[in-house]
A and B are shown apart, each in its own frame.
Chain A
């Protein structure tokens, strides 16, 4: 009896949260087709495909922004996973002086908002010629996404340990091969999380992209904000849906690649169990 009440309580809690998450998504879809929706009706009066046609007419520009958004975020995600693995291994598997300090500085960008960093670094980026360029935006995004990757991969590395890798070394594998064949496949789920998280951090970044990209580098957020400010909800909703769909697609590709690697790439002996 008591158990039953408990499971009902759990279901209700989950349902409330699910509804709170999914209802906004429905409004997004609704607004794509809404032509007229005057107060105080509960449903839109006139539906049309006007907004969709309007966007279809700007296909070339849209595809370009889509491409540069995905390119920037994917590069940031992959780089931050690679650097994250390197940093996590250095901190966890080696002895060296100043380890605590290094760890502190890796996590520091968590504690300093991107806006503050962006306004501080702009002059330096201009001097280095990185401003208004995709490279500059990638580097700036990387700095913000790296702490997430390092944290996740450090947890993973601590859990996986280095015993299997040492085993492989003893059996004669080169350091890189030992890592590639033993630790990397086991770390893959964590790496996938790190890649996804970094992708998101980069993809959602508005202020930093605005400051460093200087309007030259156009990403999804840069495209969206003016429509939101001017209250053009149709267009904003279409862009949002499109970009969320693309993000899910990209994540699907990441997951597929990671799964493929775990099956065929590295140590098939360790994942088969």
Chain B
């Protein structure tokens, strides 16, 4: 009897926090459907979503945020996995170098923004170096790398933060697999590269994909970097959502929530994809057996 109760006792604080989280999520979703009794809005409607998706400025924000999130997370994942692979194959997965490489994980995004401004702005080190090398004659000739409409500065900041995160997320597992199963394959005559490609990488796939999804969703919904490094137009989704949220006219709030709803929808679709892929990989294994 005591043992039956035990898991629930252990889970109690987790469940409380999860409930709170769900209240936040559900409130957001109901408000996006235009139900805010306190403001006299009572009937659920899809109007706000329709309007958000048909307004060109808002649609541009959606695409802008999606592009930044996709670019930064794909590049960070590829870069991080590449680096893990190089280190694992060279059996250099520990030591001072690895500790330094994981340093960006502890640097807040706000500070990363400062780094990017110091280096990539038109007043930054790169622009000065370009002048010194005679590549540009005037400050204005240096390409707009931050506050630009393509979000290059934001993507760069995310890469600086997220490549080490992927390394941190993946390297222990990868070193472990490459050391045990990879060793076995090498003993059977496979080449280092083949082992990595055919044994280690497939076995790390789920971890890599979940790392990718975490940084993708983070980049999609993060506020600081687009605020500090982004262009005035288009604005990133969370920045625009917050702007609508604090709008003096409280009836604008459903727009904010609809924008958030779009973020939630994209995140949920990507997590669903993840679960489907996991199921498929399990199926493959059982069929082969």
Contact = CB atoms under 8 A, between A and B. Distances in A.
Interface of A: 6-7, 9-10, 13-14, 17-18, 20-25, 27-28, 31, 39-42, 83, 86-87, 89-91, 94-96, 102, 105-106, 108-121, 123-124, 139, 142-143, 146, 150, 196-197, 200, 203-204, 206-207, 220-221, 224-225, 228-229, 233, 236-237, 240, 243-244, 247-248, 251
Given A13-B86, A117-B24, A123-B27, A142 B17 contact: yes
Given A18-B101, A87-B10, A27 B115 contact: yes
B47 interface: no
A237 B220 CA distance: 27
Contact of B114 (A86, A143, A197, A236): A236
18 contacts: A17-B101, A24-B116, A24-B119, A28-B114, A40-B132, A86-B13, A90-B8, A113-B217, A116-B263, A117-B25, A118-B24, A119-B28, A207-B222, A225-B227, A228-B114, A228-B117, A228-B228, A240-B111
B17 to A, nearest CB: 5
Contact of B260 (A83, A105, A116, A237): A116
B213 A119 contact: no
Contact of A204 (B26, B110, B228, B264): B110
Given A112-B217, A117-B28, 6 more contacts: A40-B127, A42-B128, A86-B13, A116-B260, A119-B245, A221-B110
Interface residues of B, number: 84
Q: Is the interface of A mostly helix, strand, loop or mixed?
A: helix
A242 to B, nearest CB: 11
A9 B116 CA distance: 27
Given A83-B13, A121-B20, A96 B7 contact: yes
Given A31-B118, A121-B20, A146-B17, A115 B132 contact: no
Residue among B87, B160, B224, B270 with most chain A CB within 10 A: B224
A106 B119 CA distance: 39
A28 B117 CA distance: 11
Contact of A18 (B27, B100, B213, B217): B100
